[in-house]
């Protein structure tokens, strides 16, 4: 999979060279390009924003630099992903959907967002998805893009050591996962549930399913079908 990110803070994505993502890039599972939007400006001050039509607080990102940057990146098969507080909810389902794609381009806005015509223009010939990672307000699209890259890339075959670990985790089946334990069996007066040390795999599977349903019901009832 090829990922391209356009941002006014390219250094923000230096972290993509470490951890799982760094290894994936070395192994050729993932190819990531980060591009500075200001490289697509032509004035002395490398201007990327201007005042909003109709007034209002803050500044809006100018369409011209975005047009030039994305013209050079988008292919017919690409999906243009625009993080936005007004976007569709980014869920594990959307992550699974994006993980099957060959090319994703992330447009990281700042200020009050990107001129609306950028998404409108590129939707004429490409798939464009405006996406939000949650109902809280960030200062830009970079944190959201980083979260989405991690959620998507870990679903790419070969990315995570044990594919089994992806199947049983929270949100993969739409429910929260059961609590996890490791050695020691006793810690500060707290014990591991005996069923997990019984060796009875059927009972362990049932216990985990019950715990998953009970946790989802009490913590995230909105996830229940
Ligand atoms: N994904 C994601 C996000 C983002 C996100 C993503 C991309 C950008 C680009 C700029 N920003 C800042 C910004 C904040 C708030 C608003 C709304 N305005 C409405 C009118 O009153 C002022 C405020 C707009 C722009 C972004 C925020 N926030 N939360 C998520 N889950």
- The predicted-structure confidence for 1-33, as pLDDT tens digits, reads as follows 999 999 999 999 999 888 777 788 888 899 999
Whether the pLDDT of residue 165 is over 70: the answer is no
How far is the centre of ligand 1, averaged over its atoms, from the C-alpha of 118 (Å)?
16
Tell me, what's the pLDDT at 204?
Answer: 98
161 is in an annotated binding site: no
4 is in an annotated binding site: no
Atom of ligand 1 nearest to the CA of 145: 1
pLDDT band at 57 (very low <50, low <70, confident <90, very high): very high
Tell me, what's the pLDDT at 166?
Answer: 58
Tell me, what's the pLDDT at 162?
Answer: 63
Concatenated DSSP letters of the chain: -EEEEEES-GGGGGGGGSHHHHHHHHTTS-EEEEEEGGGG--STT---EEPPTT--SS-EE-HHHHHHHHHTT--TT-EEEEEEEEEEE--HHHHHHHHT-SEEEEE---TT-B-HHHHHHHTTTSEEEEEESSSS--SSSHHHHHHHHHHHHTTSTTSSS-THHHHTSTTTSSSPPPP---S-SEETTEE--GGGGS--HHHHHHHHHHHHHHHHHHH-GGG--
pLDDT band at 173 (very low <50, low <70, confident <90, very high): confident
Residue list, ligand 1 pocket, CB within 6 Å: 83-85, 87, 109-110, 112-113, 131-134, 136-141, 144
- HEC letters along 145-181: HHHHHHHHHCCCCCCCCCCHHHHCCCCCCCCCCCCCC
How far is the centre of ligand 1, averaged over its atoms, from the C-alpha of 175 (Å)?
28
53 is in an annotated binding site: no
| Residues 64-90, mean pLDDT to the nearest whole number | 98
8 is in an annotated binding site: no
**Residue 3: which of 38, 40, 34 has the closest Cα?**
34
Query: Which ipTM did the prediction report?
Result: 0.96
Which of 84, 107, 118, 136 for a ligand 1 pocket mutation test, highest count of atoms within 8 Å of Cβ?
Answer: 84
Tell me, what's the pLDDT at 172?
Answer: 67
Return d(Cα 62, Cα 48) in angstroms, integer.
6
pLDDT band at 181 (very low <50, low <70, confident <90, very high): very high
Please tell me the residue having the least CA distance from ligand 1 atom 24: 112
How far is the centre of ligand 1, averaged over its atoms, from the C-alpha of 52 (Å)?
15
Tell me, what's the pLDDT at 25?
Answer: 81
- pTM of the predicted model, to two decimals? 0.93
Over the stretch 81-138, which tens digit does the pLDDT of each residue have? 999 999 999 999 999 999 999 999 999 999 999 999 999 999 999 999 999 999 999 9
Q: Note whether 152 and 95 are within 8 A (CB).
A: yes
Using a pLDDT cut of 70, give the percent of the chain over it: 94
Whether the pLDDT of residue 167 is over 70: the answer is no
Which of 86, 137, 145, 146 for a ligand 1 pocket mutation test, highest count of atoms within 8 Å of Cβ?
Answer: 137
Region of poorest pLDDT, from 52-66, 100-114, 152-166: 152-166
């Amino acid at each position: 999979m090829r990922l391209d990110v356009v941002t006014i803070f390219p250094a923000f994505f230096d972290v993509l060279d470490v951890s799982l993502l760094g290894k994936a890039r070395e192994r050729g599972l993932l190819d990531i390009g980060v591009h500075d939007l200001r490289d697509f400006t032509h004035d002395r001050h490398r201007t990327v924003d201007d005042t909003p039509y109709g007034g209002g607080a803050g500044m809006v990102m100018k369409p011209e630099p975005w047009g030039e940057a994305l013209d050079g990146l988008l292919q017919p098969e690409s999906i243009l992903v625009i993080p936005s507080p007004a976007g569709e909810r980014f869920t594990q389902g959307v992550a699974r959907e994006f993980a099957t794609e060959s090319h994703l381009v992330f447009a990281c806005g700042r200020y009050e967002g990107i001129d609306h015509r950028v998404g409108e223009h590129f939707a004429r010939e490409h798939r464009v998805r405006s996406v939000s990672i949650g109902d809280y307000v960030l200062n830009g699209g970079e944190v959201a893009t980083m979260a989405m890259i991690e959620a998507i890339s870990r679903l790419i075959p070969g990315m995570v050591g044990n594919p089994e670990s992806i199947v049983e985790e929270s949100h993969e089946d739409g429910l929260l996962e059961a609590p996890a334990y490791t050695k020691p069996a006793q810690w500060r007066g707290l014990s591991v549930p005996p069923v997990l040390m019984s060796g009875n795999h059927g009972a362990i599977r049932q216990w985990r399913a019950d715990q998953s349903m009970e946790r989802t019901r009490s913590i995230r009832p909105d996830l229940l079908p």
